[in-house]
Structure 1
Amino acid sequence: MIDRRSFLAGSAAAGALALAARRARAAEPGVSDTTLPRLLDTRRVIIDTDPGNDDAIAILMALSAPSLSVEAITVAPGNIGYAQEVRNALYMVDLAGFSGRIPVHAGMTRPILGRSYASASFIHGPSGLGQFVVPPVKQQPDPEHAVTAICRIVRRYPNQVVILALGGLTNVAMALLMDPGIARLVKGIQFVANANNAVPSFNAMVDPEAADIVFRSGAPITFGLGGPDSSILTPADFKTVRAMDTARSRFFMQSNALRLSFEMSARNAKGSVNGDPLATAMIIDPAIATGFKAVCARVELEGEYTRGTILYGENRYNMQPTPPPNANLCVAADNARFKALVFRTLAQA
């Protein structure tokens, strides 16, 4: 016969188990209950970029932000031919009014394993900047290699520098391989890619091995593009930009017309999708990012169609504990606040 004390103890234990079961069912598989620190109060950035049209606007935004000090621009493999990417980066520094004051470093010209990947000229145009013809500028690339520059700058400003990774992660991965200690010294890496997509994000697909190295490095990583409409600029927004009639707005219209038409016709989007400017906006104004998930992100290195895909949540089937998170995935962002920042940047004379 069960006495009253045993009955109550058994009931309490059963209740606790039921509550734990409900919480386990309510939690999203693969998402950690441990939150990761946000990238707040950023003052110093390195822009690691493969300047196509969205990178170009992101560079303008970062250089125009009074709160940011752009320590260097490093050029990564990515959207188009590497030499053209370097020329585009130099031109963007000139357009922003910082010619000769912000160094541009050439770096790794191909992925770590040297594997080829698809060009993104279908959305960026042959030169990377749509219909815009890139003129020559006086500034030349800095003689220091991009990988060396990344290591030097991070060590010079410990726990202050965010690497704004707008392209493939080859330069960043090589810096971590050359100097693993910078993983503990970098304030964070803001990477433009998404997770659990039907197809790999372009920047991860460019160099999956590099992405794998970065995600396994222990460096603080934020990635993700918010919701489906978080970085959208609609045809109406393009009309707003056209009416500004500044050198920057005219550049935007020429360089982004192809992006708008491709996104709407081929991807059925409501406008142009702007992952690089959104990632940059979240560093300038962290309030733009409104939702995060702490995940253990892994990079698929095999598969004909899935190589370069970033995944998390493998324990949703095997019911194992969620692994410790290694990255903050941004799942929601304020599109109106993002657009306002883009407009302020382009309206400047």
Structure 2
Amino acid sequence: MSINRRLLLGGLIASGTMAMTPRTLHAAEPGVSDTPLPRLLNNHRVIIDTDPGNDDAIAILMALDAPNLQVEAITIAPGNIRYDKEVRNALYVVELAGYAGKVAVHPGMTHPILDRPYSTSTFIHGTDGLGKAAVPTVRQQPDPEHAVDAIRRIVRRYPGEVVILALGGLTNVAMALLRDPAIASMIKGIQFVGSAGNAVPSFNSMVDPEAADIVLRSGAPVTMGLGRQYDSLLTRADFDHVASFDTPRSRFFMQSNELRLTFEMSARNAPGSVNADPLATAMVIDPGIGIKFKAIHARVELEGELTRGDILYGENRYSMVPTLPANVNLCTEASNDDFKRILFATLAHR
């Protein structure tokens, strides 16, 4: 059979019709929409929903340091370490950044929606979440307003303006959407640190799969994905470069992230440390860092013993049924150089 005939028959089978159309030989990738989703551009107001965590801490510093962002609140989500330590770490990072008393830290949901157990990640964050960095007593106290109420209040105050930078489990965001479904159309976007459609499950969606499912079904605009495997990579040479700044922030980075570097290089055979939360933050600061995107219809696996929490798309790969409307803008390529430019500027700041 000739090559042209094989291509023709393949296109006819994939399209389910014998009529030749321009799409016959160019079927869309299963699970991927032909219609791009709008990019998350010109961002200003941000809520940081986070589970600090060494990489979260650096992400918070980056967001607070960005001249084009106004951090309206920091809300604490279940995730990396014990919840009370996450709250303490957030308060410390706000003080380190010079924003003590200026940016509120709101405790929220202390456990996933169904309160199912999940594995924390002290192996990469350290017992207290910030590696070897010692966390002193700080002046600022947690804000008494619950994180879920803070999210609802801020989104309603600034409809169409607020980006939720979701760096941890999505429990607070999901609960806000359950209590007040109308805010789904008022949120400018949710930048979620998660992955979809590959062999590496997302820790943040594994923390609370039901919350991730609620958010993806809510209709709120979601951007996810962190480019190629090493678009958020920092090598040993990058760590040495940061150390040369010799600022309070760079010293904090070295103390809190050395464990991340050594773990990923030894246990995961990576050429450096991968920094998903800081990259997601950099993409909100400078949307041009995200280079390529796919508009996908993503779903969360809620039942699998080994795959619970995985975010998947393309389940119509074999059936070739039409792709449902896209609910996630998936970043498939980002600029490592531009990410490091913003990170280094933050850490060099005295």
For this structure pair, what is the TM-score category when the shorter chain's length is used for normalisation? Answer: over 0.9
Q: How does 1:191-206 map to 2 (within 5 A)?
A: 191-206=192-207
Q: Which amino acid in structure 2 is aligned with residue 191 of structure 1?
A: F
* Residue of structure 2 equivalent to 1:323: 324
Shift of 1:322: 1.2
Q: How does 1:301-316 map to 2 (within 5 A)?
A: 301-316=302-317
* Residue of structure 1 equivalent to 2:127: 126
1:19 has 2:3 as partner = no
* Residue of structure 2 equivalent to 1:257: 258
1:167-220 per-residue CA deviation (whole Å, 9 max, x = no partner) reads 000000000000000000000000001012324210000000000000000000
1:129-152 per-residue CA deviation (whole Å, 9 max, x = no partner) reads 001111110000001000000000
Q: How does 1:131-280 map to 2 (within 5 A)?
A: 131-280=132-281
SS of residue in 1 equivalent to 2:24 = helix
1:260-285 per-residue CA deviation (whole Å, 9 max, x = no partner) reads 01111111111100000000000000
Q: Which amino acid in structure 2 is aligned with residue 285 of structure 1?
A: D
Q: Which amino acid in structure 2 is aligned with residue 265 of structure 1?
A: S
**Cα RMSD for the two superposed structures:** 1.1
1:261-313 per-residue CA deviation (whole Å, 9 max, x = no partner) reads 11111111111000000000000001100000000010000111100000001
Query: 1:184–1:218: 8 Å Cα contact kept in structure 2?
Result: yes
Moved more, 195-204 or 32-41: 195-204
Between the two proteins, the alignment pairs up a number of residues equal to 334
Shift of 1:20: 2.7
SS of residue in 2 equivalent to 1:71 = strand
SS of residue in 2 equivalent to 1:85 = helix
Q: Which amino acid in structure 2 is aligned with residue 334 of structure 1?
A: S
Shift of 1:15: 10
Q: Which amino acid in structure 2 is aligned with residue 57 of structure 1?
A: I
Which consecutive residues of structure 1, in runs of 5 or more, have no partner in the other structure? Answer: 1-13
1:232-252 per-residue CA deviation (whole Å, 9 max, x = no partner) reads 000000000000000000000
CA distance in structure 1 between the aligned counterparts of 2:30 and 2:218, rounded to whole angstroms? 23
Shift of 1:125: 0.2
* Residue of structure 2 equivalent to 1:342: 343
* Residue of structure 2 equivalent to 1:6: none
**Which aligned segments of 4 or more residues in structure 1 are displaced greater than 4 angstroms?**
none
Q: TM-score, normalised by structure 1?
A: 0.94
* Residue of structure 2 equivalent to 1:48: 49
CA distance in structure 2 between the aligned counterparts of 1:91 and 1:122, rounded to whole angstroms? 21
CA distance in structure 2 between the aligned counterparts of 1:16 and 1:315, rounded to whole angstroms? 21
More helix by percentage: 1
* Residue of structure 1 equivalent to 2:299: 298
SS of residue in 2 equivalent to 1:318 = coil
CA distance in structure 2 between the aligned counterparts of 1:289 and 1:62, rounded to whole angstroms? 17
CA distance in structure 1 between the aligned counterparts of 2:316 and 2:324, rounded to whole angstroms? 8
SS of residue in 2 equivalent to 1:190 = strand
CA distance in structure 2 between the aligned counterparts of 1:112 and 1:200, rounded to whole angstroms? 19
* Residue of structure 2 equivalent to 1:80: 81
Shift of 1:30: 1.4
Shift of 1:18: 5.5
CA distance in structure 1 between the aligned counterparts of 2:217 and 2:93, rounded to whole angstroms? 32
Percent same amino acid at aligned positions? Answer: 70
Shift of 1:19: 3.4
* Residue of structure 2 equivalent to 1:7: none
Shift of 1:28: 1.7
CA distance in structure 2 between the aligned counterparts of 1:20 and 1:120, rounded to whole angstroms? 46
1:88-132 per-residue CA deviation (whole Å, 9 max, x = no partner) reads 000010000000000000000000000010010000000100011
CA distance in structure 1 between the aligned counterparts of 2:331 and 2:269, rounded to whole angstroms? 23
CA distance in structure 1 between the aligned counterparts of 2:336 and 2:220, rounded to whole angstroms? 28
CA distance in structure 1 between the aligned counterparts of 2:49 and 2:71, rounded to whole angstroms? 11
Which consecutive residues of structure 2, in runs of 5 or more, have no partner in the other structure? Answer: 1-16
* Residue of structure 1 equivalent to 2:104: 103
Shift of 1:323: 1.1
CA distance in structure 1 between the aligned counterparts of 2:218 and 2:52, rounded to whole angstroms? 25
CA distance in structure 2 between the aligned counterparts of 1:199 and 1:301, rounded to whole angstroms? 16
SS of residue in 1 equivalent to 2:249 = helix
CA distance in structure 2 between the aligned counterparts of 1:217 and 1:152, rounded to whole angstroms? 18
Q: TM-score, normalised by structure 2?
A: 0.94
